Structures are given as C-alpha cells and as structure tokens.
Structure 1
Amino acid sequence: MAMVSEFLGQLSLNTCQEATYPTVVPAKDFDADKDAARIETAIKTKGVDEHAIIDILTKRTYSQRRDIAFAYERRAKKDMITALKGALSGSLEPVILGLMKSTAQYDASEIRGSIKGLGTDEEVLIEFLCSRSNSELVEIKKVYKELFKKDLDKDVAGDTSGNFAKLLLALIQTKRTDPSCVIDYEKIDEDARALYNAGVGTKGTDVATWISIMSERSVPHLQKVFDRYKNYSPYDMQESIRKEVKGDLEKSFLTLVQCFENKQLYFANRLSEGMKGKGAKEKVVTRIMVSRCEVDLMKIRTEFKAHNGQSLYKTITEHTKGDYQRALLSLCGGDD
C-alpha cells in the first residue's frame, strides 16, 4: 500500500491564488465508489479495458482521482496505482500513472528522474525549473523533500556545474519578488541597462548579473525591462542571449525569457516541436499534457492554434495513435 500513501496521502493545497485555465475540471455528480468499481472491472477484464480507465481518470481532477484510489483500495484490498502499473503498458502507462500524482508531485518526480542515476537529462531540468512560477517552485521543493527525503537544491547542485548550476540554484531559492501595483520606471531602466552592460554592451558576459536580475525580479517587471532593453541594444533579449552564451546556459536563459514573455506560447511551441516529423517525441508531449492539464492547458491550446494554424487537438490526432492518442485528446479537452 506504500504507493497510495506516498503519492496520494497528502493533498497539497497551493495557497497562492493564481488564475488557472485547466482543461481537466471537477467531474459533476462525482461518485468515487462507482468510478473505483468501474476501474476494478476494467483492470480485471481479459485484455484490460483501457478505454474505461482513460475515460474515467482523464476526466477527473487530481483530488477526485485521489478519492477514487482510496475507494479502490477499500473495495479491492489492493493499491490502485500498483494495479494500474501492472495492467497498463506502452505510451499510455506514463500518462495514467502521471495523472495519479498532484501537479507538484508530478513535477518533483520528473525532476528527480532527470538527475537520478548515470547522466543528467538537462532538457527536463531546464523545462521544469525555468518554466515554473515562484509559488510552483516552492511547492515542488516541499513535495520533493516529502517524496525523496532529499533537498532539491543539493540534488541539482550535485548533478550540474558552472553558471548553468548557478542559474538553476538561484531559481530554486525562489527569491523572485511578487508583482507590484506600482511600476518603478527607474528600476526598469536600471535593470535594462544592467542587462545590456553585462552582455552585448561589453566584452565577455557578466552572467552573475543576468542570473540575479532574471531570478529575483517579478515577471511583469521583467516584461517591461525586456521592452526597455531594446532602447539600449540593437538586439532583443533572446537574440542577445544567443550571442553571449551557449549550451545549457543558453537554453535556460531562453526558456526563462520565453516564459516571462508568454509562458503558454512556450509550452505550445514545445508541443509543436514534440509532434514534428515522424512520430511524436512522446516524453515531451506527455510531460506537458499531464503537468499542465489542471493549470493552463486551455490557454496553451489557444496559443497553439494561433501560432500553428491548426488546433492542438487535430495535431495530436495526426501525430499519435491508439490509447495514447485517446488519453491525450481527452486531456486536451476539445477542439478549437
């Protein structure tokens, strides 16, 4: 029974009242016992009834899935996550098992997976740490400690190095100021000049200044800073980053700036890239669909359609198949 207590034992509540734009919302007339019975039947069915599992779990919020898991354990005398793991396979398995975690639990688990064992998946680290808000990172740090009995900053420090490590650790420290109703034009100008003088405006790059400003200022402030930056530099902030730094540090700064400017467009572009060419880059697509379905996937859908000329729903239909496709389309929440 360890799995349920580990991932479902505590329903984390985020106290920050940030607006959300989910595609997965609470099911009306929800009956955990009825859903648990249907899932038990689906798992016991010869060949497994994946459709029933998908139709239930992709249309319930995390708190509702959590109630289903406890109801399942009461009736079946076994852990639902373990049962699902044994019943599912292929691309569908990580989607369904991912949905059995809260958003913060999922993020923490994916980060842990990227640094555990030999080698580090820098792409995953960058995606999660550079795209999450301060409040999300606070929750991820807390849940990471609960799940793995380790400190996120120590694990990241042990698996990264140089300025890349310094940037990630600065983000994990969650020193970003909250948005203010007062617009400080003097500070905006000061930060814009500092970014220019630390990069394009001098020989070499003062990365520490970039890290400090981009990890400590509020997002609305930084949006105005990047706009003001164009008064000093012949390049915008993203072009300046490409000229000044390379490798994982470049990718990290670019991800930060893209998320400051339009986070949902960043995710829409990641989904678009993940579904280009032959077959989807399933890990990327799965990560975004699972981690954002109760956060802002509705807005990501809007950005996807605006910048790709066709809906996310239609793109998923063209580039995926089978039960995996069915699950993603259900999480997508409809066509645009």
Structure 2
Amino acid sequence: CVIRSLVGETPLHGAQNLLLHTGRSLGAAPSMGSWISHGLGTENENLPGYVLLNNDWIPNGGWQNFASGFLPATSEATLIRAEGNPVDNIVPADHPAVQQAKLEFLRRSAATDATTAAVESTIATFETAARMQTSVPDVCDVSDETGETRRLYGLDRADNYQRFYALQCLRARRLVEAGVRFVEVTCPLTHANNAPWDQHGGMRKYHAENALITDQPVAALITDLKRRGLLDETLVLWAGEMGRTPHSAGSDGRDHHVSGYTVCLAGGGVAGGMTFGETDERNPSNRSSLLILGRDDSWLLFEIGHHLHRAVVTFSSAPSVVTFFVAVSSRLA
C-alpha cells in the first residue's frame, strides 16, 4: 500500500525525525517502539521488546527518536550493530553466579529505596541485559540461514552497503520471529551531508545508489515474512521523515518537502496493491486528504462504556500513562 499524502510540520531533519518517531517535533515524548513495547510487552523475555538495527549512526534528532520519554526505561530501544559486537558488553565480564549476586543486591536495595519504581525499572533492564548475553548472539548469527535465503536478501553482493542493509533486514526477520514487538532498520550512512537520502545535489546518481542498496533487502524481508506466515501479523512501514520538492534546488538536487510525500505499508492486514492520496504535479502541496505524520500522544483516545478516555494524563507537569489503558491494550493484543 502506497500512501502519497503525508504532511509534516517543518522542513528540518531533527524536528521531522522526532515527529515521525514520537508524534512531537520537539521530542521528550515516547517513541512508537516504546509505546508498543510498553503496551504489549515482549513475547520473549530474553530479548528487548524494541530493537534498533543500526551501526552507531544516530540520525538528526538524536537518541530521543528512540527513547522512552516518560515511559519506563525498559521500553527504550536497544541498538544492535551490523558490524563488530552487536551490543556493547555482550560478552559477560563476570561469572553468571557473580552477576546474579549483584542483581540480588540491587533487589534488596530497591526494597528500602524511596524511588523503588525507578530502581526496579533499572533492575529489570539489567536482568534483560543478562539474558541477552546468550540470546542476542544467537539471533544475530545468520550462519544457519540457507544459501537461498542469504542470496534473497543480497548477502552475496559485492557492495558493502548492500550487504550491511541485507544483513540488518535478515536480522529484523529473525528478531520478529523470536518475538520482538518493534524493530527499526535504518539505512547505512553512505555519503556526506545528512545522507543517505538528503540529495540537495547529485540526486539522480545518489538516489539510484540508495535504491539499489535498499530495494532488494526490503523486498526480501516482505517475501520472507510472507512465506513464513508472519506477514499477516507484522506491519512493515517503509518511510523517511520528509520528501523532496517537485522543483529543482538550483542544482541537480531537491530541497526538503513536508507538504506532501510518500510512505509504503505492507502486511499487518493492510490491503496490498493500492495507493492513497496524491500530490499536485507542479504545486508543492497535497491535492487530496492529508495524513498527519506522527501523532501527539495527548490525542490517543479510546472508548470504554460509551465514554472516551485519553491514554495519557497531560494536565500535570509530568505526563503519566493511564494504567488501565495498558491493561486493555494487552488484552486486545
């Protein structure tokens, strides 16, 4: 499904990245992955519920794109790299018995601490980290995949960027298969400026290169999810934070554009083979229904007993999550 009528707020990378991930261009709100991880939990206690497949390149907007905001720290993203050690400190420095003794000490300390909730959240994070020491290397090791699957994603390609993205897309499938709720794959950092897709010049050349890097692995991910029976329950979103203007930027490139641009959806019950919305071929704006990029969490409404309820209490200085909303979400999942 291709949606061609998205709009944003401001043509700045940082603000638009935050809007895409959190629904707020100023940040400090939970990211999409954090909401889903917090509301639905993880199907595998040995893995985090929210994983970012990256290689240490954090896009404009910073870590707030993937942070938990006012939700517990346990719902924040965990970064897994394509090269080197997938996760920092994944090889345990202590014997398992020593690690367990340290965790037990933290639990006893939490029982006497006034900020127990924050301490318990930290302990839960450490416990997940301890379990990840065996589970993450296993799920990141693709050596047990068939040759056909590896070629499907493009792991046999000569180009380093293509192999990088192919590996991360294959790992995304393995993580979904292992029960991780939300996985984000970011494009490799290829060229200068705010690459990979920010072509204010050389657009034909660099867009063609970027398309070559991403096209095969994304198609393979969708194909692989479908043939394994996972696509119907997995929503694939292929998107950037903004589009490019329909007119030249005074060179062979295009400027930032937030008045009408495109994202693609697959799986998750979305009807395939259709397009929604359109932009004017000359005027840099929409000519159809607008879809606002992101969603401010204060707009999250749901109905119980013919009454509308908000998911977040926003009238206090520190927003808090309505707990029974999380319970309802869990039952509906």
TM exceeding 0.5: no
In the superposition, the TM-score normalised over structure 1's length comes to: 0.28
The structure with more strand, counted as a fraction of residues: 2
RCO higher in structure (CA 8 A, sep ≥6): 2
In the superposition, the TM-score normalised over structure 2's length comes to: 0.28
The structure with more helix, counted as a fraction of residues: 1
